[in-house]
């Protein structure tokens, strides 16, 4: 189609400018987790406003979310604003909301960066751009703006109404965003037909992916308490029921070394694997070696890539994280801890009912503890949960994105899920009652949250082209 | 006997002076664990030298033990000296070594002390003396010197040759003392017939005790390692073998909630209970309420006092202390720890062989781990051990002390053991090849190592009388 030739040609033509704008953006150290850098996060919001104005976005609003809740040093610390804006408001067009975040993880040269983390380093040889935020998420966020610029300069009409929702608190728990989405669902976000989030990564380094699912997580704490204070094992060992010994019995009953969850009723809640779903796992660009490389070990529970991916994405898992209240230092301390909290979590998947899971877990722990006949007290509680997310990978939005990917990369994308949760995905889907797609720009080895974070120039350029084509295919869909 | 009338009368007469001398001693904050207070520890050694000179002790030596090994702030920090001295060297008399320590635990008024910890507060109403070191161990140490003073002023000949061995590092691991004992075994300590240590406490608050046994301890670390670095449970949960899950299986196999050690072969090493030994447990001043009060709970594994005491003193116990390397903070962290160390220890008793125990423990852990079929690596090692100690409670030293106790208190003492270890006891017994007796002065509620440490005036006074009578009865024994 000639419009794509024009658009893609313009993207190529503007390459230098697009790299420059990323360079300007990453120079602002917008670390949301560092209170002292909060003014820089706000500065980056204003930088985005300037760009939106330059590109003709309208109805630009900085949504203030109020004071950051404790723990904070400064009790009056303001949350960074959410940047809302529109491009077009044609009632005959579909409306797409694009989400991105302009805050970044902390970074220091001394952490092991090859170049200054807050200065874009363009490695001409490796054809990549290195900086904190390059791939998470400043690069993908700017890619959306660049797509609009390419349309303007190529004089191709934007086929959808675009709404931006850019937050500055993603790396610190997206505080306040869910409330804003709820608040604006019938207002600013009233006409949204679909949401597109570019804030995850390809599974590997070679093949583009579209992501249609995320696991949720239910995090539990099992507390065993007995003596009023820690005791000396010389004096009391052998005469009192030790809370940590009881806790070990409870924790060791949850899961076996093969990863099998031993809590009755959990496996039964998992959605059965359909043939159609299983097909999505064929030919995914992933091997056992990829897992071993990522863990730096040969500790995989499965040998076949399909089994590994299914257990990462579509089956629940139970991890034990640690014990609070026991001796955790180096050396030899002869303490009998008086009160210990075992921490474990279950990654949840369709069709697990979170509340029902809580009951199964708590009942299981109670039952195991009761069998011990211990005079101590044991309680188990949920301390945090986040819902899983699943989308239909065959809906119009995914179909458009798959077509765009094929057009740009010449291959069908892998349809992936992720093992971790991105809570805001569920919020958008539920609160706006709309479909969400995760359309990643960067690769699996980009090192988001790590030292030497990078974005390959080809991913930046092809990412914009894919986004552009996606807008058109999605606009054309039924 | 008229000599006891004279001696006890003199002790009573000197009461005010004995309280004053304790007051002077505790004013020196000889905290061995606080490097900045090391000069005070040394000052207290010199204070003791003055007292020994005043009382006519001879051959007074300050034994320097060299530089304190790391970790220390000051790499040239000198260990406090051991104070050796003699009173008498009549070859026709028996020679008794008395051990005490002049260093103390840290203490600050702000910790919750009712009065300044380094100022002796005499509570006339409760008839007790409160200060850091009152009962541990400055009071009992000075009691020995007071006994000599009473003999001198009552003009009763000391019936034994006395050797003092006063260290200033007991609260910080008795660094250097074992080497000194070995070094002096054939020199300063050549003629020692028995050792008497007054550095523990009555079991309760009413009945005097003599202590004839201590448990030892073998401290183990089980390490499970797999991935090269900590992993995120969202991404890797369900696909890798988690070291902490394996460790829970190993740790939970060691002991049950009833305190039963589940390692094959351990129970078989324990010396059988003889009728004679069992009789020692009759009528001991101890109740289930005492244990419950001490633990601030009702978490006892046994209801009968005899069972409680036997499991504290003469049976081994296994305590799990904690996990190093896992998440141990508050809140919810979704980490899969890459390498975890489980810490546990076994309190040892006659006739357990320490080396054989190590093998049983390590073999057990290896066997349990192997059954898991995990790709992780698991190793178990001993990281610290201390031998148990047992004496014959019917030997001449104990018989003399029991007679002395009966004379002073009017009751037969309870024969007790302790669940914890006092390593120096074993060192004296083994290196000097002699019998050791633990003859406590203070009560079980004295609060050694705690706030408001105290010594009842009656314990101080009766303690001296018991020590004095002990010297005479021991001198007369065969
Ligand atoms: Zn991100
Ligand atoms: Zn991130
Ligand atoms: Zn002591
Ligand atoms: Zn002490």
DSSP string, A83-114: EEEEE---TTS-EEEEEEE--B----GGGT-S
What's the CA gap between B338 and B322, in Å, rounded? Answer: 16
Q: Do B334 and A316 touch (CB under 8 A)?
A: no
Contact yes or no for B332/B194 (Cβ under 8 A): no
Residues of chain A with C-beta less than 8 angstroms from the C-beta of B322: 244, 323, 326-328, 333, 335, 337
Question: From edge to edge, which strands make up the β-sheet containing B121-123?
Answer: B121-123, B128-130, B454-456
Task: Write the residue in A248, A334, A343 that is nearest to B251 by C-beta.
Answer: A248
Catalytic-role residue among B103, B171, B225, B446: B103
Predicted local confidence at residue A423, as pLDDT: 85
Give pLDDT, residue B420: 87
Which strand (E) or helix (H) includes residue B196? strand B194-197
pLDDT tens per residue, range A181-235: 999 999 999 999 999 999 999 999 999 999 999 999 999 999 999 999 999 999 9
Strand locations in A20-81, DSSP E? 58-63
User: With 90 as the cut, is the pLDDT of residue B302 above it?
Assistant: yes
Query: Is there a cis peptide before residue A71, judged by omega within 30 degrees of 0?
Result: yes
Contact (CB<8Å) A334/B219: yes
Name which of A241, A319, A326 is nearest B336 (Cβ-Cβ).
A319
A103 annotated active-site: yes
Q: Distance (Å) from the C-alpha of residue A329 to the closest C-alpha of chain B?
A: 6
Separation between Cα atoms, residue A376 and residue A276, nearest integer Å: 50
- Cα B187 → chain centroid: 26
Q: Mean pLDDT, to the nearest integer, of B446-468? A: 96
Between CA A407 and CA A185, with CA A463 as vertex, the angle to 5 degrees is 105
Q: Ligand 1 centroid vs A37 CA: distance in angstroms?
A: 18
- Give the residue-averaged pLDDT of B257-267: 98
Tens of pLDDT, residue by residue over B2-41, are 999 999 999 999 999 999 999 999 999 999 999 999 999 9
Under the banding of pLDDT at 50, 70 and 90, the label for residue A252 is: very high
Question: Residue A166 Cα, ligand 2 centroid: separation in angstroms?
Answer: 14
CA B350 from chain centre, in angstroms, equals: 18
Whether the predicted pLDDT of B422 surpasses 90: no
Please list, in sequence order, all residues whose beta carbon lies within 8 angstroms of the beta carbon of residue B421, skipping any fewer than 6 positions away: A234, B214, B215, B216, B217, B386, B387, B388, B389
Distance A287 CA to ligand 1 centre (A): 25
Q: How far is the CA of B74 from the centre of ligand 3 (A)?
A: 25
Contact list in B for residue A345 (CB cut-off 8 A) is: 233, 237, 332, 334
Give the DSSP H or E segment for A335: strand A335-336
Q: pLDDT exceeding 90 applies to what percent of chain A? A: 96
Q: Which residues pair with B344 in a beta bridge?
A: B220, B320
How far apart (Å, rounded) are the C-alpha atoms in residues A231 and B121?
Answer: 29
Q: Please answer whether residues A452 and A112 qualify as being in contact, where contact means their C-beta atoms are separated by less than 8 angstroms.
A: yes
Residues in chain A with CB shorter than 8 Å from the CB of B308 are: 239
Burial class (CB in 10 A: 0-12, 13-18, 19+), B126: exposed
CATH 3.40.630.10 region(s) of chain A?
2-214+389-476
β-pair type (A414-418, A317-324): unpaired
Looking at the CA of A105, which ligand is closest?
Answer: 2
Nearest to A241 among B238, B257, B316 (CB): B257
Predicted pLDDT at B26:
98
User: In this predicted model, what pLDDT tens digit does every residue of B327-369 receive, in sequence order?
Assistant: 999 888 899 999 999 999 999 999 999 999 999 999 999 999 9
Q: Are B330 and A343 in contact (CB under 8 A)?
A: no
Chain A residues near residue B327 by CB distance under 8 angstroms: 321-322, 324, 343
Q: Flag whether pLDDT at A347 surpasses 90.
A: yes
Of A215, A335, A419, the CB nearest to B321: A335
Q: State the CB neighbour count (10 A cutoff) for residue B351.
A: 11
How is residue B156 written in tokens? 């009763």
Tokens of B147: 């006994």
Q: What is the mean pLDDT of residues B250-267?
A: 98
Q: Chain B: nearest CA to A383, how far in angstroms? A: 7
From the CA of B200, how far away is ligand 3's center (Å)? 7
Provide the 8-state DSSP code for B334. -
User: Which pLDDT does position A478 carry in this prediction?
Assistant: 85
Choose the mutation target among A248, A326, A387, A420 for the interface with B, i.e. most B CBs under 10 Å.
Answer: A248
Whole-number pLDDT of residue A1: 82
Chain-centre distance of CA A424, in angstroms? 8
Q: Which CATH class is domain B216-271+314-386?
A: alpha beta
A173: which 2 tokens? 């728990």
| Nearest residue to B242 (alpha-carbon basis) of A387, A154, A446, A347 | A347
B136, B170, B184, B225: the catalytic one is B170
Largest Cα span, chain A = 85
The DSSP H or E segment spanning A404 is: helix A396-409
- For residue A389, give the H/E element and its range: strand A389-390
Distance CA A215, CA A197 (A): 16
Residues A149-169 have a mean pLDDT of 98
Pull the structure tokens for residue B9.
Answer: 């009368």
Instruction: Name the E strands within B50-131.
Output: 58-63, 82-87, 95-101, 121-123, 128-130
Query: What's the pLDDT score for residue B1?
Result: 82
**Which residue among A246, A297, A373 sits closest to B226, beta carbon to beta carbon?**
A297
Asked if B253 and B364 count as a contact pair (C-beta separation under 8 A), the reply is: yes
Is A62 strand, coil or helix? Answer: strand
Distance CA(B208)–CA(B457), nearest Å, equals: 14
Does residue A440 register a pLDDT over 90?
A: yes
Contact B231, B366 (CB under 8 A): no
pLDDT band at A383 (very low <50, low <70, confident <90, very high): very high
Neighbours of A179 (CB within 10 A): 13
The answer to whether the CB atoms of A299 and B226 lie below 8 A apart is yes
CB contacts, 8 Å: B230 with chain A: none
Q: How far apart are CA A329 and CA A476, in angstroms?
A: 61
CA dist list (Å): A219 to A341, A362, B229, B236, B242? 12, 12, 22, 16, 17
Of B132, B302, B420, B326, residue with least CA distance to A341: B326
Contact A245 B332 (CB under 8 A): no
- pLDDT tier at B144, thresholds 50, 70, 90: very high
Q: Across the interface, which of A219, A229, A233 has its CB nearest the CB of B332?
A: A219
How close A123 gets to chain B, by Cα (Å)? 28
Backbone angles phi, psi at A169, to 5 degrees: -135, 15
- Report percent pLDDT > 70 for chain B: 100
Q: Distance between CA B79 and CA B167 in Å, rounded?
A: 10
Residues of chain A with CATH 3.30.70.360: 216-271+314-386
User: What gap in Å lies between CA A323 and CA A304, rounded to an integer?
Assistant: 33
To the nearest whole Å, the CA of B134 is away from the closest chain A CA by 22
Query: Nearest ligand to the C-alpha of residue B100?
Result: 3
> Token pair for residue A434?
């709309």
> Pseudo-torsion of CA A328, A219, A38, A447, nearest 10°?
80
B366 flagged as catalytic = no
Residues A137, A170, A385, A453: which is the catalytic one?
A170
| Closest approach of A222 to chain B, Cα-based (Å) | 12
In whole numbers, what is the pLDDT of chain B averaged over residues? 96
φ and ψ of A198, to 5 deg: -110, 80
Mean pLDDT throughout B130-155? Answer: 98
Mean pLDDT, range B170-178, rounded to an integer: 94
Give the whole-angstrom CA distance, residue B387 versus residue B75.
30
Please give, rounded to a whole number of angstroms, the shortest distance from the CA of A376 to a CA of chain B.
6
Residue A420 has pLDDT above 90, yes or no: no
Q: What share of chain B is helix, strand, coil (3-state, %, to 5)?
A: 35, 25, 40
What's the average model confidence in pLDDT over A400-410? 98
A 10 A CB-CB count for B384 gives 13
Topology (CATH level 3) of domain B2-214+389-476: Aminopeptidase (3.40.630)
**Which band of pLDDT confidence, cut at 50, 70 and 90, is reported for residue B88?**
very high
B23 closest CA partner among B124, B136, B128, B118: B118
Task: Mark yes or no for CB contact B332/A383 under 8 Å.
Answer: yes
Which residues does A358 contact at the CB level (< 8 Å), separation at least 6? A218, A382
Residue of B nearest to A217 (CA): B234
Other CB atoms within a 10 A radius of the CB of residue A58 amount to 11
Inform me whether the pLDDT recorded for B92 exceeds 90: yes
Q: Are A300 and B375 in contact (CB under 8 A)?
A: yes
The strand pair at A389-390 and A161-167 is best described as: unpaired
Which DSSP string corresponds to B125-158? TTTEEESTTTTTTHHHHHHHHHHHHHHHHHT---
Token pair 């703006």 is at which residue?
A145
| Interchain proximity A237–B347, CB inside 8 Å | yes
Cβ neighbours for B437, distance < 8 A, ≥ 6 positions apart = B194, B195, B196, B197, B210, B211, B212, B391, B397, B398, B401
A40: tokens are 């820089």
CA distance A428 to chain B (A): 21
For the beta carbon of residue B181, count every other beta carbon within 10 angstroms.
23
Q: What is the pLDDT of residue A200?
A: 95
Q: What is the pLDDT of residue B19?
A: 98
Task: Please give the distance, rounded to the nearest whole angstrom, from the Cα atom of residue B110 to the centre of ligand 1.
Answer: 48
Q: Which two tokens stand for residue B159?
A: 């019936």
Calpha distance A328→A26 (Å, rounded): 39
Size of interface A-B (CB pairs under 8 A): 283
Flag whether the ipTM exceeds 0.85. Answer: yes
Q: Which H or E element spans position A318? A: strand A317-324
**CA B220–ligand 3 middle distance (angstroms):** 26
CA distance A281 to A306: 6
pLDDT, one tens digit per residue, over B334-345 is 999 999 999 999
Distance CA B209, CA B200 (A): 10
**The tokens of A276 are what?**
């159609």
How far is the C-alpha of B118 from the C-alpha of B105, rounded, in Å?
11
Residues of B in contact with A315 (CB under 8 A): 238
Q: What's the gap in Å between A422 CA and the centre of ligand 2?
A: 10
The Å distance, Cα B411 to ligand 1 centre, comes to: 77
């Amino acid at each position: 189609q000639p419009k794509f030739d024009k658009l893609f040609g313009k993207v190529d033509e503007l390459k230098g400018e697009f790299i420059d704008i990323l360079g300007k953006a990453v120079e602002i150290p917008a670390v949301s987790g560092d209170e002292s850098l909060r003014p820089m996060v706000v500065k980056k919001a204003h930088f985005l406003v300037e760009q939106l104005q330059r590109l003709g976005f309208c109805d630009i609003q900085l949504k203030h979310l109020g004071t950051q809740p404790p723990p904070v040093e400064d009790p009056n610390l303001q949350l960074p604003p959410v940047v809302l804006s529109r491009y077009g408001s044609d009632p005959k067009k579909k409306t797409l909301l694009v989400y991105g975040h302009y805050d970044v993880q902390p970074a220091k040269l001394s952490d092991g960066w090859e170049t200054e983390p807050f200065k874009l380093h363009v490695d001409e040889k490796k054809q990549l751009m290195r900086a904190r935020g390059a791939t998470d998420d400043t690069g993908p966020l700017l890619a959306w703006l660049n797509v609009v610029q390419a349309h303007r300069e190529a004089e191709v009409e934007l086929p959808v109404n675009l709404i931006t929702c850019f937050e500055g608190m993603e790396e610190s728990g997206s505080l306040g965003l869910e409330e804003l989405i709820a608040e604006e669902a019938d207002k600013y976000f009233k006409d949204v037909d679909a949401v597109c989030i570019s804030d995850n990564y390809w599974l590997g380094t070679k093949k583009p992916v579209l992501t249609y699912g995320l696991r949720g997580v239910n995090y539990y704490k099992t507390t065993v308490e007995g003596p009023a204070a820690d005791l000396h094992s010389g004096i009391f060992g052998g005469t009192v029921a030790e809370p940590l010994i009881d806790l070990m019995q409870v924790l060791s009953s949850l899961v076996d070394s093969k990863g099998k969850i031993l809590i009755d009723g959990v496996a039964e809640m998992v959605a059965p694997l359909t043939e159609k779903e299983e097909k999505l796992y064929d030919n995914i660009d992933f091997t056992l070696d990829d897992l071993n490389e990522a863990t730096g070990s040969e500790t995989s529970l499965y040998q076949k890539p399909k089994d590994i991916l299914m257990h990462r994405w579509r089956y629940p898992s139970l991890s034990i994280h640690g014990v609070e209240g026991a001796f955790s230092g180096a050396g030899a301390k002869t303490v009998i801890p008086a009160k210990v909290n075992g921490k474990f979590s279950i990654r949840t998947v369709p069709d697990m009912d979170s509340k029902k899971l809580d009951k199964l877990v708590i009942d299981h722990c109670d039952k195991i503890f009761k069998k011990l006949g211990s005079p101590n007290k044991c309680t188990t509680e949920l301390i945090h949960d986040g819902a899983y997310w699943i989308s239909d990978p065959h809906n119009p939005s995914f179909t458009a994105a798959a077509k765009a990917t094929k057009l740009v990369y010449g291959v069908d994308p892998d349809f992936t899920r992720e093992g971790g949760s991105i809570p805001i995905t569920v919020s958008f889907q539920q609160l706006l009652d709309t479909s969400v797609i995760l359309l990643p720009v960067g690769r699996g080895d980009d090192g988001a949250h790590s030292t030497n974070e990078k974005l390959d120039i080809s991913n930046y350029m092809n990412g914009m082209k894919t986004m552009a084509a996606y807008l058109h295919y999605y606009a054309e869909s039924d």
